[in-house]
Copies of this chain bind each other. A is one copy, B any other.
Amino acid sequence: MKHLVRTSKNLGHAIRQARKAKNLTQKELASMSGVWQETISKIENGSGGTKLETVFDLIAALELEITVAERSKGTSDGLEDIF
Interface residue ranges, A against B (CB under 8 Å): 1-8, 11, 14-15, 18, 48-53, 55-56, 59-60, 63-72, 78, 80
Residue contact B59 to A53, C-beta cutoff 8 Å: no
Residue of B11, B63, B70 near A52 (CB, 8 A) is: B11
Copies of the polypeptide in the assembly:
2
The A interface, classified by DSSP as helix, strand, loop or mixed, is mixed
A68's partner among B7, B8, B14, B50 (CB-CB below 8 A) is B14
Whether the Cβ atoms of B66 and A5 lie closer than 8 Å is yes
Q: Can you give 14 contacting A-B residue pairs, CB < 8 Å?
A: A2-B67, A2-B68, A2-B69, A3-B69, A5-B67, A6-B59, A6-B60, A6-B65, A8-B52, A11-B68, A14-B68, A15-B68, A65-B72, A67-B67
